[in-house]
């Protein structure tokens, strides 16, 4: 067992436990903090997969921006006891069905992945930095890149408009 394997197992364990914490916490602030830990664990997995730039973007966008946005939204809408802000659905059959579907999906996917013969590449390359990424984004995928920029602009306007609300005449 190499160091790489130990690091993967540690990161995967932390990430999965934090993800369970997000879903199982009764206090939604705790859920949000576990979500930050999950994002950082996933960023560690990206670093381990030689994707340094994607890992940094993950830390900045997810662990930085999105989690702050979520915590602000929680502060704006929290009006009951903190320990009862993040409960499960009232109906037990709904939870049972949700758990059944999720376990079935995860187990089915894991089995399918395990028994698939993957077309693994023989060559191994290290971290390429942003060079390849820039070539892709400004080469074959330049239209998608521009559409993503317009999407972000529209999302900012939409979010401001929705959160501001319509004033009553």
Partner 1 sequence: MIGLAHYLIFASLLFGIGMFGVLSKRNAIAVLMSVELMLNAVNINFVAIEKFVTPGTGLGHTIALFVIVVAAAEVAVGLALIISIYRHKKSVNLNDFNLLKW
Q: Which of 20, 83, 142, 146 touches partner 1 (CB under 8 A)?
A: 20
Interaction residues for partner 1, span 99-128 (CB under 8 A): 99, 101-103, 105-106, 109-110, 113-114, 116, 118-121, 123-125, 128
CA distance 100 to 75: 33
CA distance 61 to 9: 25
**Closest to partner 1 by CB, 79 or 81:** 79
CA distance 114 to 106: 12
Q: Does 14 bind partner 1 (CB under 8 A)?
A: no
CA distance 36 to 68: 9
Query: Coil, strand or helix: which one is 139?
Result: coil
Interaction residues for partner 1, span 51-70 (CB under 8 A): 51, 53-54, 57-58, 61-62, 65-66, 69-70
Q: Which of 19, 30, 56, 59 touches partner 1 (CB under 8 A)?
A: 19
Interaction residues for partner 1, span 127-146 (CB under 8 A): 128, 132-133, 135-137, 141, 144
CA distance 89 to 41: 28
């Amino acid at each position: 067992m190499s160091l790489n394997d130990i690091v993967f197992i540690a990161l995967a364990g932390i990430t999965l436990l934090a993800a369970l914490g997000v879903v199982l916490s009764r206090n939604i602030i705790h859920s949000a903090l576990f979500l930050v830990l999950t994002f950082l664990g996933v960023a560690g997995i990206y670093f381990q997969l030689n994707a340094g730039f994607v890992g940094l973007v993950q830390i900045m966008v997810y662990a930085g921006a999105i989690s702050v946005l979520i915590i602000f939204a929680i502060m704006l809408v929290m009006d009951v006891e903190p320990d009862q802000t993040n409960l499960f659905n009232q109906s037990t059959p709904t939870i049972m069905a949700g758990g059944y579907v999720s376990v079935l999906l995860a187990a089915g996917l894991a089995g399918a992945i395990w028994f698939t013969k993957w077309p693994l590449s023989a060559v191994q390359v290290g971290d390429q930095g942003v060079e390849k990424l820039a070539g892709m984004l400004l080469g074959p995928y330049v239209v998608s890149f521009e559409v993503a920029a317009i999407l972000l602009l529209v999302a900012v306007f939409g979010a401001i408009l929705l959160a501001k609300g319509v004033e009553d005449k």
